[in-house]
Amino acid sequence: MFALALAPAAGCLKVPDTDAGSTPEEQTTTRETAREVWPGKPPGALYVPGEVRSFDIYREGKLVGRSHGRYEGPVEGAKDQHRFSTRVELFPPDTPPEQRDAQASRVLGEIVVDGRGDLVRGFERSAAAELEYRREGDALVFTSGRVREELTYRDGTAYMSFWTFLHEELMLGSRALTEGELSWRQVSLSRVTPNEWAASVQLPEDAAPGAAILRTNLGERVEWRGGRIHRIEIDAERVEIKEAGAAWPEWTIDAPIELRYTPPADARFTIRPVELPGRPGEPKLFGELLVPEGRSAARPGPAALFLSSNGRQDRYGFAGPPPVDLGSHELTDALANAGFVVLRFDERGQGESEDGELTYLAQLEDARRALRTLLVQDEVDPDEVGVIGHGDGGWRALALAREGRKLKALALLSSPGRPYEEILRHQATGMIDRLPPEMREQASEEHDRVIQALKTGRAVPPGLLEQASWIREALRVRPDELIAAIEPGCALWISQGDKDFEVDPQTDPAALLRHIRRSRKKATFKRYPSLDHLYMHEDERSTPERYLVPGRHVDAQFLEELAAWLKGALR
């Protein structure tokens, strides 16, 4: 997609000299010789309270979305501030009209501007997340969950939000428009990326007063009529936006839940923050140590390290957006209550840990850092340590065990037993089988091309670029080789929920057990018929959407049996 919508800037104020690219004298001379298209009006004078502006979005002649905006009126109790609401809905390609509402992805937003058009505050919200922004002096501060960013924002800076055409109409309507060239600085309210906006304003000879054509550096051709956007064309994207008379939509989106960790009521452990020392240039990683009652330097005991599955969660198993509780804190809390010193940590870019390149090998090095940190804690007996790996975290646990770490126990929770390429094809098959029959062959061929691109690093689809390095490295992992290298004295525990959709609940544990037998090793295997990948109860088919359902918990019997096995494996 592309960012079209631009937002109001500084009312009728002149743009600062550093952004306009000319001196005040040059700007005055230009305005005196150029024909005026639109005088510019304060935001509160552009619309009447309750007025709705709607636009239909077409791609190649097909309706793909709608963008709505409404002037709510002056802000009560605030001097010369005005509130605007927005609603954007996008439809999947080729969606039948009767299915559009059910399948639409939606974003709602709100901005408050002052009498000159400068931003005061606002937010945009989807089902996945909420982004808030607020003007603080010469800074625009963005917050989303625990993430805070800010950028320079001066009076006269324009702003935009994704697909929100009311913002573009406000920007143009609150400025004086003249024939010729326009430019000013703008920031994105969706992507937090400042850039320069520019347009060429043309007046056709037969144009009515207040009408013009603007050609912008975003590739837009904007038809402007008397303070309103009538039509926008983006030829490169084969997109057309038309002024529409649609009613204000009734749908709304609740604010996303804020996940917070609280120790269990029966907690028999204390929590101590720790930093995971690393080599120069590596991101700082932080976590915490759960120390059971009675453990001390004088009485060290067995310990466990927890390795998460996807590398995108904090120490508690909180991930997103959208915010999702993956339940890891329930597992680590249960092990601490069972008497084990436990280390859990924030993955790169999560919680308190610094961001860094997210690759499989980088995650493996982070696991090494975590294990080194655990082994030197005063309360830990370094000869009695186990690693609990969830999903592909089980692969990293196996890698640690074959590196001479002298681990006494490894628990592989829903870990893949097949090479990652087979996992990807398994997951794709499930999606392809749900497509109409006439689309399946093409989808299968496209998936083959994507796999090849990920292997080689060439022609990777844009949507996978962020994950490409991780996947390329994971494609080289051989679970059979990892298991073959484990020392014979290391106890193994394999568990699998039958409602798992991320790994095959039959094929993957069978492959792990086959590798173990061939390596002449032994393992305890536990199957849980009604549990999903997170070891939470599932009556129906497990899906990613089910992870978002609040109030789900890790199964108590699973936690009890895992702790009992670990007690038997560690002294």
From first to last of its 571 residues, the chain has per-residue pLDDT tens of 222 222 222 222 222 233 333 444 444 444 456 788 999 999 999 999 999 999 999 999 999 999 999 999 999 999 999 999 999 999 987 788 888 888 899 999 999 999 999 999 999 998 878 899 999 999 999 988 667 788 889 999 999 998 999 999 999 999 999 999 999 999 988 865 678 899 999 998 777 888 999 999 989 999 999 899 999 999 988 999 999 988 999 999 988 888 899 999 999 999 999 999 999 999 999 999 999 999 999 999 999 999 998 778 999 999 987 789 999 999 999 999 999 999 999 999 899 999 898 899 999 999 999 999 999 999 999 999 999 999 999 999 999 998 877 899 999 999 999 999 988 887 777 777 777 777 788 878 888 888 888 888 888 887 778 788 999 999 999 999 999 999 888 999 999 999 998 999 999 999 999 999 999 999 999 999 999 999 999 988 888 888 988 889 999 999 999 999 999 999 8
What is the enclosing helix (H) or strand (E) of 167?
helix 165-173
pLDDT recorded at residue 146: 62
pLDDT recorded at residue 17: 31
pTM: 0.71
pLDDT recorded at residue 450: 86
Kindly report whether the peptide bond that precedes residue 322 is cis, defined as omega within 30 degrees of 0.
yes
- Fold designation for 269-419+478-569: Rossmann fold (3.40.50)
pLDDT recorded at residue 174: 94
Are 305 and 387 within 8 A, CB to CB? yes
Which residues are within 8 A (CB) of 235 and not within 5 positions of it... i.e. 6 or more apart?
Answer: 219, 221
CATH 3.40.50.1820, the chain: domain bounds: 269-419+478-569
Kindly state the tokens that stand for 20.
């306009």
pLDDT recorded at residue 191: 64
Chain centroid, CA 481 distance in Å: 34
What is the enclosing helix (H) or strand (E) of 131?
strand 130-136
pLDDT recorded at residue 143: 87
Are 447 and 432 within 8 A, CB to CB? yes
Q: At residue 560, what is the residue type?
A: E
What separation in angstroms does the CA of 229 have from each of 131, 212, 258, 385?
27, 10, 38, 66
